[in-house]
Amino acid sequence: MLDTDNLEVIRHELDEPFSLSAEQIEFYRENGYLKLRHALSPDLLEHYRRAITSRVKELSADAPPMEQRNTYGKAFLQVMNLWTESEVVKEFVFGKRLARIASQLMETSGVRIYHDQALYKEAGGGITPWHADQYYWPVSTEKTVTAWIPLQATPMEMGPLAFCEKSHRFQLGRDLEISDESEMTLKEALHSYRLEESAFDLGEVSFHAGWTFHRAGANTTDRPREVMTIIYMDEDMQLMAPRNKNQMADWERWCPGVQVGETINSPLNPILYSVRAKA
């Protein structure tokens, strides 16, 4: 348990700016992802890891046994919008440091949350197939980014996230949901492009664009790979007419009450960072 002084230090870190270089922003623009070492401190991660893990265990207690799941189900336990389930988790998700980084990388004036999700790849959990997240999102532009936040050091044996460089510019595969088919089709289509696949140090956080193709290996260790993610979008993002059943489901679940063509400003999509707020 942290004492009051240490807790205040951690809370300050959540909102304190992180210095991004022009070269890092350009790398993200060109490659569709960026990994940042020392983005968050070990003390901060451990404090919020306990709260996140506790809620994940409670909310996934009825998950079927591994052998009864399909490839997607074996990839991870997935619990969404934890910020609505815990004030401590909300404190983490609403932190301005990562939101400001997301805004800088997308070159927007600010960001809203689309939703968060915990992705816990259990011991013995399978691969996460190749896919692009934005297939699922009924949003009007490509100004989206996901922060992938490992809550422990993540060696190759745990299945860290891997990225296909420059794939946010590809059109092929944008109609594929995450599945065995997406893994086989995209593995073949992307084989000639550079793959960034490396371990994550404790405190290292990655950011990838909505259309960047990515995957993760299996977890061959005896402990879960605990990861929290936050999906950010341009603060001016509008709702697009859904193009598939998954986008229709996302509209109903994550953008309640918003109509096509309107800014996605539902109670579930507050602004987390904006330069306009300083005006």
Whether 258 contacts 265, CB under 8 Å = yes
**pLDDT mean for each 10 residues of the chain (279 residues):** 78 96 98 98 97 93 76 77 96 98 98 97 93 97 98 98 96 90 91 93 98 96 97 98 97 98 98 84
Query: What was the pLDDT predicted at 92?
Result: 98
Query: What was the pLDDT predicted at 60?
Result: 87
Cα 279 from Cα 89, distance rounded (Å):
29
Cα dihedral 235, 32, 25, 158, rounded to 10, equals: 100
Look at the block and give the residue holding tokens 């193009």.
243
Cα 147 from Cα 102, distance rounded (Å):
8
Query: What was the pLDDT predicted at 279?
Result: 46
Q: Domains, the chain, ranges and CATH?
A: 4-272 (2.60.120.620)
